[in-house]
Amino acid sequence: MIEAQNLTKVFKGFRKSFTAVDSISFRVEKGEVFGFLGPNGAGKTTTIRMISGISRPTRGNVKVCGYDTILDNVKAKKHIGLIPETPGFYDEMKGIDLLCFYAEFYGIQKVERKRKARELLETVGLKDFMGGKVKTYSHGMKKRLALAASLINDPEILILDEPSTGLDPKGISLFRKMVKDLNNKGVTVFLSSHILSEVEQMCKRVCILSKGKIIAVDSIENLSKKIGMKTQINVFIDAEGITDNVLDVVRKMSDVLRVEKTGTGINVVCSRNISPAVNETLVRSGVKVGSIRVTEPSLEEIFLKLTGEQNES
Ligand SMILES: Nc1ncnc2c1ncn2[C@@H]1O[C@H](COP(=O)(O)OP(=O)(O)OP(=O)(O)O)[C@@H](O)[C@H]1O
Ligand SMILES: [Mg+2]
């Protein structure tokens, strides 16, 4: 659905030029919710502007539904719904009129325009405000309006640049539900977000960008495995009857880094998840095992590790 090849953006300054996006290539498949991550200034918004056909790549290209975003700009845009990082609206327009205006732009019939605009504004919780001018909307209300506006053309691809910032908890939950529902209906989602728990919840695959370059594109599971090899995994076991002898046996197991006593049992710190083997060892030693909880690296740890390594190099 999205195919970027050697996508590059160089900003020409007064004296020197700056490469904000440096020859990145990636593919987003149909039906995916694809996470796009990176520290401030990594080049995410610049990339999103090129995918959306707003900004011209300096080198390379990006295709959306097979259409080059520059050569086939209008066709590519027809398939895209975008929530920009900072949505800008005609402030003097009423919410409902603004959506009808966008609908007209996409060639939607007059009678259909109003029906669709109303329906979308209701869905995003702006039912009581649709007759008000956009300048009277709060920050979060504008964000909700942007969500409604991005859906007016029934896009096949939804591109979201930090959609949750500025939304209240109810708004965030509504937004996530809407995106999930759309994805279930086959809409492909490209999600850039600093809220890593949101990305973890919504995306299978992520791309991590740093200083304009891709440092990882993979499933969260695979990244977690790769990083897991470099970090520690905690296996918390609630159990009764753990003697010093048993502790020694567990300490000598392969991949175990150390064993700590906790109030209700032990924490086995290991280099990979060996919880089944630990369980077996404990049971064989006559220990009554209650529960086992494993904490593997979160997306936050993966992100910090990978972007941290980049900064060191
Ligand atoms: N119009 C511009 N002219 C010059 N430099 C720019 C321009 N737009 C962005 N940049 C630079 O390009 C780099 C990438 O910016 P971009 O907005 O893409 O980052 P980002 O990953 O979206 O960051 P954030 O998480 O803060 O939104 C930054 O160093 C920024 O200063
Ligand atoms: Mg940005």
Neighbours of 128 (CB within 10 A): 9
Ligand in closest contact with the CA of 208: 1
Per-residue pLDDT tens over the stretch 143-199? 899 999 999 999 999 999 998 888 888 888 888 998 999 999 999 999 999 888 889
Cα–Cα dist 307/289, whole Å: 39
Per-residue pLDDT tens over the stretch 256-281? 999 998 889 999 998 888 999 999 99
Residues 6+ apart with CB under 8 A from 25: 4, 5, 6, 7, 60, 214
Q: Is the CB of 24 under 6 A from ligand 1?
A: no
Residue identified by tokens 């949505």 is 87
Which of 119, 74, 123, 87 has its CA nearest to residue 100? Answer: 119
pLDDT at 237: 93
On whether the CB atoms of residues 209 and 43 are closer than 8 A, the answer is yes
**Secondary structure of residue 99 in the 3-state scheme:** helix
On whether the CB atoms of residues 266 and 248 are closer than 8 A, the answer is no
Torsion 275-278-283-284 (CA) sign = positive
Neighbours of 110 (CB within 10 A): 9
Cα–Cα dist 76/167, whole Å: 29
pLDDT at 312: 59
CATH of range 232-296; options 3.30.565.10, 3.30.70.260, 1.10.3720.10, 3.10.20.90: 3.30.70.260
pLDDT at 222: 83
Which of 142, 149, 138 has its CA nearest to residue 106? Answer: 149
pLDDT at 229: 58
pLDDT at 19: 95
For ligand 1, pick from 15, 45, 194 the residue to mutate: most ligand atoms within 8 Å of CB: 45
CATH of range 2-225; options 3.40.120.10, 3.40.50.300, 3.40.35.10, 1.10.287.1080: 3.40.50.300
Q: Is the CB of 43 under 6 A from ligand 1?
A: yes
Cα–Cα dist 80/150, whole Å: 8
pLDDT at 230: 59
pLDDT at 7: 97
For ligand 1, pick from 7, 9, 11, 165 the residue to mutate: most ligand atoms within 8 Å of CB: 11
Give alpha helix (H) positions in the chain.
44-51, 73-78, 95-105, 110-123, 139-150, 169-184, 196-202, 220-228, 244-251, 275-284, 299-312
The CATH 3.30.70.260 domain(s) of the chain lie at 232-296
Per-residue pLDDT tens over the stretch 1-50? 999 999 999 999 877 899 999 999 999 999 999 999 999 999 999 999 99
The CATH 3.40.50.300 domain(s) of the chain lie at 2-225
| Ligand 1, atom 17, residue with closest C-alpha | 45
Per-residue pLDDT tens over the stretch 196-221? 888 988 998 999 999 999 999 999 88
pLDDT at 171: 85
Token pair recorded at residue 66: 């097979």
pLDDT at 310: 64
pTM: 0.82
**Confidence check: pLDDT of 311 > 70:** no
Going from the Cα of 181 to the center of ligand 2, the distance in angstroms, rounded, reads 25
Q: Is the CB of 9 under 6 A from ligand 1?
A: no
The mean pLDDT value for 218-229 works out to: 77
Per-residue pLDDT tens over the stretch 57-94? 999 999 999 999 999 999 999 999 999 988 888 889 99
Going from the Cα of 310 to the center of ligand 1, the distance in angstroms, rounded, reads 18
* DSSP codes of every residue in 200-264: HHH-SEEEEEETTEEEEEEEHHHHHHHHHTTS-EEEEEEEE---HHHHHHHHTSTTEEEEEE-SS
On whether the CB atoms of residues 108 and 83 are closer than 8 A, the answer is no
| Chain centroid, CA 10 distance in Å | 25
DSSP state of 298: P
Cα–Cα dist 119/6, whole Å: 40
pLDDT at 228: 61
